[in-house]
Chains A and B, each alone.
Chain A
């Protein structure tokens, strides 16, 4: 089938053309059957007005192969009709204006039905693609995390053993194993998040959350990265509660913390602060790293954007984009500020404070 496609027809993808040819078997067979039937019938009656019957194979072609198959079937059908049934017989030329109208009608029907059928097929494919992507995410998550669980778990059991814990060469190895496994787990989570974001598959599950809890959870998850840092945490006691998906905001803040730890000198301080700014609660992470230029302010949140100044630091360019996407999914936004190259950066998340009676009942009095 593929050989039937001349290489010059590059404007149609080879697979599409091959598929169209493959799906034309049945319509062309129907054309042949119809022709024989009409020819047989033609011995007894005048059949040149029933050539619209050739629309049947055209419709079959449209359903099975789309526009290409439908138009081809229409042309073949009309050619056959012209040859066998339209006067002059056994000649492809046509004379009657009715037959010209037939020709135009056939082409229109072929194109329209072919396109409709193709649209339906594309929608179905997209649906299957989504389902496949979800299934892949699920299985990648499981297939990668199961061996990772064994590695991390086994390392932690080794760390339990007093001989290893006491040994100053082996102890740190086991610790390293554990930290790297946790880092790998973070990468897996990033891939899953990135994939979900790309397919708009993030569904926030909002609940009441204390901003302090979000800060503590994010700091706790990134504790390995912050081990050699002076970390300042500033959270006022009376911040309004938020109504967001806490897990998503925590991961977003975690990306900001990770970003700060990555692009500032080892040992330099990092400050993580929560606060109220009008109708928003903000989470800000400030570092004393190299900062960024004014024109990078928005670009740093873009997918795959990596500052040319950090070519020597490994990274995927996904972290801040994921942070932005997760926060936007929760109805918030992100901001970045730097006083300029070499003067540190402050990256922040801003989430709306829910209106006073947003599904929140009065607190019942104590007896």
Chain B
């Protein structure tokens, strides 16, 4: 982790897209490195300390999944994937391979920055041992396993807490259905998506003001769930 200015490595073959990404990140006090192909990007990532990777799915030389796999072999650096809307399955595959989040082209910079900050925070949280996660009125204390909404303690069953815990550990970033099923129910239940929908409902009932219009525990249709991030 570098000191004050986080370093973002942008890997995208479109010069125009790299240009606005650079401007957007620099306006937010981040430094930007660029690569227009996967080989150069991976080389840069091995030679320089970087805090975040933003990877386009449609690179000409290497499949996006290969980049995620190769980087994950030696690094936990957060990776955000830029994808087009047609590739839902591909998105889920990349997230399950270890990418931290995705944004769908065309996207607004605010959205990418929110995902990026969330991924950076998770990285720093694990480094600093920070155990409080806040999502709007919800506070999860990962150390004492206590959950409160607007200061009032909420009683959760062990499975409900486990579900919330996994989401809180990735607060602000999407967590796929598969990932949640594996973490909460174990590898033998990764196909039992029905459980997950039911438990998400129960959880929403306990933490959301309006469970059918959630503000804290958000759905990414076809992909997974995302805990809102920040106050």
In the complex the two chains form, is A153's CB within 8 Å of B17's CB? yes
Q: How far is the CB of B81 from chain A (nearest CB, A)?
A: 14
Question: How far apart are B136's CB and chain A's nearest CB, in angstroms?
Answer: 16
Asked if A157 contacts B106 (CB within 8 A), the reply is: no
Is the CB–CB distance between A216 and B109 below 8 Å?
A: no
Q: Is the CB of B212 within 8 A of A207?
A: no
Cα(A236)–Cα(B192), bound, Å: 24
**B193/A208 in contact, CB under 8 A:** yes
B189: chain A residues within 8 A (beta carbon): 364
Which of chain A's residues have a CB closer than 8 A to the CB of B193? 207-208
User: What B residues does A192 contact at CB under 8 A?
Assistant: 86
Q: Which of A49-57, A142-150, A288-296 contacts B (4 or more CB under 8 A)?
A: A142-150
A236 to B219, CA, bound (A): 17
**A210 part of interface (Cβ distance < 8 Å):** yes
A250 within 8 A of B: yes
B194's partner among A205, A237, A360 (CB-CB below 8 A) is: A360
Tell yes or no: B231 within 8 A of A by CB.
Answer: no
Residues in A with CB closer than 8 Å to B110 are 156, 159-160
In the complex, which residues of chain A have a beta carbon less than 8 angstroms from the beta carbon of B28? 160
Chain A 177-221, CB-CB to B under 8 Å as 1, else 0, gives 010011001000100100000000000010111101111110000
Proximity bits, B201-212, A CB within 8 Å = 1, else 0: 100010000011
Q: In the complex the two chains form, what is the Cα distance from A23 to B107 in whole Å?
A: 53
B107 pairs with A145, CB closer than 8 A = no
Write the A142-176 contact mask toward B (1 if CB under 8 angstroms, else 0): 10011111111111110111000000000000000
The count of chain B contact residues (Cβ–Cβ below 8 Å) is 45
User: A34 on the interface (CB 8 Å rule)?
Assistant: no
For residue B27, give the distance in angstroms from its CB to the closest CB of chain A: 5
A225-254, CB under 8 A of B: which get 1 and which 0? Answer: 000000001011100010001110010000
- Complex alpha-carbon distance, A145 and B105, angstroms: 7
Given A150-B16, A153-B21, A237-B212, residue A181 in contact with residue B106 (CB < 8 A): yes
Report B171 CB to chain A, min CB distance, Å.
19
> A241: nearest residue on chain B (CB-CB)?
B197
* Proximity bits, B194-231, A CB within 8 Å = 1, else 0: 11111011000100000111100001011000000000
Residue of A nearest to B157 (CB): A366
What 0/1 pattern do residues 1 to 33 of B give for CB contact below 8 A with A?
A: 000000000000010110111011001100000
Query: Does B88 sit within 8 A of A, measured CB to CB?
Result: yes
Assess whether A141 is interfacial by the CB under 8 Å rule: yes
Q: Are B221 and A157 in contact (CB under 8 A)?
A: no
Alpha-carbon gap, A84 to B177, bound state (A): 80
Task: Name the residue of chain A whose CB is nearest to the CB of B199.
Answer: A363
CB distance from A163 to the nearest CB of B (A): 11
| B105, B107, B197, B221 — most chain A CB neighbours (10 Å) | B221
Residues of A within 8 A of B201 (CB): 210, 237
A250 to B220 alpha-carbon distance, docked (Å): 12
Q: Does B58 contact A (CB under 8 A)?
A: yes
Most-contacted residue by chain A among B106, B158, B192, B196 (CB, 10 A) = B106
A146 touches B108 (CB 8 A): no
Main secondary structure of the interface of A (DSSP, over half): helix
Which among B20, B89, B194, B221 is the interface contact of A150 at CB below 8 angstroms? B20
* CB-CB nearest in chain B for A233: B213
Q: How many A-B residue pairs have CB under 8 A?
A: 130
Chain B residues with CB under 8 A of A216:
212-214, 219
Q: Tell whether A153 pairs with B107 under 8 Å between CB atoms, given A141-B84, A216-B214.
A: yes
B88 and chain A: residue at smallest CB distance: A247
Give chain A residues whose Cβ lies under 8 Å from the Cβ of B211: 212, 237
Tell me whether A189 and B85 are in contact in the complex, defined as CB-CB below 8 angstroms, given that A208-B194, A241-B194, A247-B222 are known contacts.
yes
Interface membership of B159, Cβ < 8 A? yes
A35–B14 CA distance with the chains assembled, in angstroms: 64
Let me know if A361 is at the binding interface, CB within 8 A. yes
Name the residue on A nearest B160 (C-beta).
Answer: A366
**A96 interface contact, C-beta 8 A:** no
Assess whether A267 is interfacial by the CB under 8 Å rule: no
Instruction: Name the residue on B nearest A239 (C-beta).
Output: B212
- With the chains together, A366 CA to B58 CA distance in Å? 43
Instruction: Encode A41-54 as 1/0 by CB contact (under 8 A) with B.
Output: 00000000000000
- Counting CB contacts under 8 A, is A8 at the interface? no
Interface, chain B (partner A; CB < 8 A): 14, 16-17, 19-21, 23-24, 27-28, 58, 84-86, 88-89, 105-110, 157-159, 177, 185, 189, 192-198, 200-201, 205, 211-214, 219, 221-222
The 5 closest A-B pairs by CB, nearest first: A156-B108, A152-B106, A156-B109, A149-B106, A213-B219
> What are 7 A-B contacts with C-beta separation under 8 Å?
A145-B106, A157-B109, A205-B88, A215-B212, A237-B212, A359-B194, A364-B189
List chain A positions with a Cβ less than 8 A from chain B: 138, 141-142, 145-157, 159-161, 178, 181-182, 185, 189, 192, 205, 207-210, 212-217, 233, 235-237, 241, 245-247, 250, 359-361, 363-364, 366-367
Using A147-B16, A149-B106, A246-B222 as known contacts, list a sample of 19 further A-B pairs with CB atoms less than 8 Å apart, ordered by residue number in A.
A141-B85, A145-B85, A148-B105, A149-B105, A150-B16, A151-B106, A156-B107, A156-B110, A208-B193, A209-B197, A210-B197, A212-B211, A213-B219, A213-B221, A233-B213, A246-B221, A250-B221, A359-B194, A366-B158
